[in-house]
Structure 1
Amino acid sequence: MGNSFVFIVNPNAKSGESQYVWKRVESILREKGIEYEVFQTAAPEHARKLVKTVFKRSDFNGIIVAVGGDGTIHEVINGIESNHLPVTCLPVGSGSDFARGFQIPRKGKNFYDWLIDSRYSLDTIDLGIFQTETNEGKFVNNIGCGFDAVIAGSVNASPIKKWLNKWKVGKLVYVFFLIRHLFSFKPTSADILVDGQKNIFENVWFLTISNHPYFGGGMKISPFSHPGDGVFEMTVVHNLPRWKFLFLFITVFWGGHTKLKEVTLLKGQEYVIETKEPQPIHADGEIVGEGSFRVQIEKAGLNIVKPLKEPLT
């Protein structure tokens, strides 16, 4: 891998904090004489278009770096048309689950110097492919439907998130909307095919298919997931009394929810989900449709760059 970078900067990530981060990084790149290009996103889905433009150039052989949150890396992943060029991120977002899942520093002294000083390694991970009734695309963290997608949609559309980010407490917006929707959400039944095997669940609150353990800004929803093992894990929360949901929400931060009888874990390479009542669907926290959907795994479908476990000496 050469020391050539294309940075895709989301200037609105974490209420504009990404611009501050980018200015620091750019000054060091210039100081060290490192070759780079930078593109600023101007609207939703712009990052995807920018990456497609980069991939049309036959001369580019470097690293694509998303500067933003999980929504930015999701768009970048969906702009990639072949898996040979590596991607990574400098995480500036409220959630940053991609960074958690791949041990990329989210703050501190080593936030960006691992990348600039070439203290990184190339890893090949699995990639998710989804088809909804109206949409199709890729995901790298997780995909799901139900209560968590309702919260994700509300969070993404809310001006409260920007206000809380300014006070460094952006995660509280998830708690706010969880409580807001807790008493109005209606669970539904779901038929789930896992590698052709049918499973029927009643009163499903939500289901999540995971590529690594984290979702929702650090919740360990799928503690047994590994992004390079060739399978996805599904977490189904069903027949859960409303009063018990807050208890589950607390335990999910360390994976304790997996011991509850209302949580079922499944594992497979291909999923088909049909719910009795249409539910919103999210991929990497972005709403991508509602109703039935299909998920397949593309083994070793993405090259990513992440820090070396031990710095070079």
Structure 2
Amino acid sequence: MSRLRVGLLSNPTAALGSAHRVGRQIGDLLRLAGISVVDLSGPSAHVARARAVEVRDTLTALVVVGGDGTVALGAEIVAGSPVRLGIVPAGTGNDMARALGLPLNDPEESTRILLHALSRPVVAIDAIEIISRGEQSLPHRSIALGNVNLGFDALVNARANGSKRGSRTRYAAAVVRELASFAPLPYWIEVDGGERIDLDASLLTLCNSGYFGGGMRIGPDSRLDDGSLELISVEGLGRADLVRFFPRVYRGTHTSLPVFHSRPVREVTVGLRHGRDLRAYSDGEARSLLPITARVLPGAVRLLADLPEAVTV
């Protein structure tokens, strides 16, 4: 029996319950390969996190089976530790898997990748730390891997999470529904410790992977291992313009538009000057109400994957 010990955490509700079935397959395949596997799945993310944290120091790796929210939970558990994060996509969006080039709906190939990576040098990717800054709330810290959605994309994410449609269909339907009452939002932002500036934008996203919405590549220049994030804003677009903008994101032709702006950053604090409350979303999950601070954590997550373009440590 191998001395390698792998924790397995699957989301029992992801993809209408199929992630739990995939998790059992992955566990069986790893055991057949001689890996010691401990199942840390639970009825809720809170229970699963507690189980994983309790045994984290005994693990070689933590393998998560589910969607982007489950991947973010795994990243939060292992960030800053020597425990490596393995990802088996089994959710609806699977945007982190797309960014990493991981196979979808293929437990055997996913297991092969995990086993191969266990014998390879460590691959480190960046994470995003999100801290609430609201005067009415206690400070709260969470970890994301993909992106932090702060504008129209966050509102769409909230609406899409309540839909039972497929990943791309439900996101597209949520875009149409949210457009009916949307107007550009009045932000204030502070970038890398600089002075506060005002910004009116329709879309404001902080990218690490650049993918969201079940395959939309909003930040095609984003890299998971470059030690920085990409702050993307879309300014000066009305409702009708946004309808035409989102299809271009799927095709990757949106970056040539004059309303699209992108800049590398390490830390951003964002709030609203007035108007509605807005909750940030990241990796498909609800986070704190604005204002928040988000900053890059370079190389914080050791990934269980063989990525030739990633930084090895």
TM-score of the superposed pair, with normalisation by structure 2: 0.87
Q: Tell whether the 8 Å contact from 2:184 to 2:238 is kept in structure 1 after alignment.
A: no
Amino acid at match of 1:127: A
Q: Tell whether the 8 Å contact from 1:120 to 1:308 is kept in structure 2 after alignment.
A: no
Q: Tell whether the 8 Å contact from 2:124 to 2:299 is kept in structure 1 after alignment.
A: yes
Which residue of structure 2 aligns with residue 82 of structure 1?
A: 80
**Which of 68, 92, 99 in structure 1 is aligned with 2:97?**
99
Which residue of structure 2 aligns with residue 150 of structure 1?
A: 155
Q: Tell whether the 8 Å contact from 2:281 to 2:287 is kept in structure 1 after alignment.
A: yes
Deviations 1:215-271 (A, max 9, x none): 121111111111111111011122102111122101112332121122211211111
Q: Quick one: distance in 1 between partners of 2:176 and 2:160?
A: 12
Q: Tell whether the 8 Å contact from 1:121 to 1:305 is kept in structure 2 after alignment.
A: no
Amino acid at match of 2:145: V
Q: Pairwise mapping of residues 279-298 of structure 1 onto structure 2 (< 5 A)?
A: 279-298=278-297
Residue 97 of structure 1: how far off its partner (Å) = 1.4
Residue 92 of structure 1: how far off its partner (Å) = 0.4
Deviations 1:71-91 (A, max 9, x none): 111122222363211112111
Q: Does 1:267 align with 2:264?
A: yes
With over 3 angstroms needed to count, the CA separation of the structure-2 counterparts of 1:147 and 1:138, relative to structure 1, is: same
Q: Quick one: distance in 2 between partners of 1:254 and 1:306?
A: 27
Q: Does 1:113 align with 2:112?
A: yes
Residue 152 of structure 1: how far off its partner (Å) = 1.5
Q: Does 1:67 align with 2:68?
A: no
SS at match of 2:167: coil
Which residue of structure 2 aligns with residue 7 of structure 1?
A: 8
With over 3 angstroms needed to count, the CA separation of the structure-2 counterparts of 1:206 and 1:5, relative to structure 1, is: same
Q: Quick one: distance in 2 between partners of 1:51 and 1:227?
A: 24
Residue 283 of structure 1: how far off its partner (Å) = 2.0
**Which of 178, 183, 188 in structure 2 is aligned with 1:186?**
183
Q: Quick one: distance in 1 between partners of 2:291 and 2:170?
A: 28
Q: Tell whether the 8 Å contact from 2:67 to 2:92 is kept in structure 1 after alignment.
A: yes
SS at match of 2:83: coil
Residue 290 of structure 1: how far off its partner (Å) = 1.6
RMSD of aligned residue pairs (Cα, Å): 2.2
Q: Does 1:226 align with 2:231?
A: no
Which residue of structure 1 aligns with residue 171 of structure 2?
A: 174
Q: Tell whether the 8 Å contact from 1:194 to 1:267 is kept in structure 2 after alignment.
A: no
Q: Quick one: distance in 1 between partners of 2:176 and 2:62?
A: 38
Which residue of structure 1 aligns with residue 32 of structure 2?
A: 31
Amino acid at match of 2:147: N
Amino acid at match of 1:105: P
Which residue of structure 2 aligns with residue 235 of structure 1?
A: 232
Amino acid at match of 1:107: N
Q: Quick one: distance in 1 between partners of 2:229 and 2:167?
A: 29
Amino acid at match of 2:20: Q
Residue 32 of structure 1: how far off its partner (Å) = 3.2
The percentage of counterpart residues that share the same residue type is 25
Structure 2 unaligned regions, length at least 5: 309-313
Residue 120 of structure 1: how far off its partner (Å) = 5.5
Deviations 1:183-205 (A, max 9, x none): 11232221222113344322x22
With over 3 angstroms needed to count, the CA separation of the structure-2 counterparts of 1:205 and 1:120, relative to structure 1, is: farther
Q: Quick one: distance in 2 between partners of 1:255 and 1:287?
A: 26
Q: Quick one: distance in 1 between partners of 2:282 and 2:46?
A: 14
Amino acid at match of 2:49: R
Structure 1 unaligned regions, length at least 5: none
Q: Tell whether the 8 Å contact from 1:144 to 1:282 is kept in structure 2 after alignment.
A: yes
Q: Which moved more, 1:224-233 or 1:283-292?
A: 283-292
Q: Tell whether the 8 Å contact from 2:189 to 2:268 is kept in structure 1 after alignment.
A: yes
Q: Quick one: distance in 2 between partners of 1:274 and 1:215?
A: 22
**Which of 204, 208, 215 in structure 2 is aligned with 1:207?**
204
Residue 308 of structure 1: how far off its partner (Å) = 5.7
Residue 102 of structure 1: how far off its partner (Å) = 1.8
Q: How many pairs align?
A: 298
Amino acid at match of 1:85: V
With over 3 angstroms needed to count, the CA separation of the structure-2 counterparts of 1:119 and 1:100, relative to structure 1, is: farther
Q: Tell whether the 8 Å contact from 2:209 to 2:224 is kept in structure 1 after alignment.
A: yes
Q: Quick one: distance in 2 between partners of 1:308 and 1:291?
A: 35
Runs of 4+ in 1 over 6 A off after TM superposition: none
With over 3 angstroms needed to count, the CA separation of the structure-2 counterparts of 1:230 and 1:52, relative to structure 1, is: same
Q: Quick one: distance in 2 between partners of 1:196 and 1:129?
A: 16
Amino acid at match of 1:154: R
Which residue of structure 1 aligns with residue 43 of structure 2?
A: 42
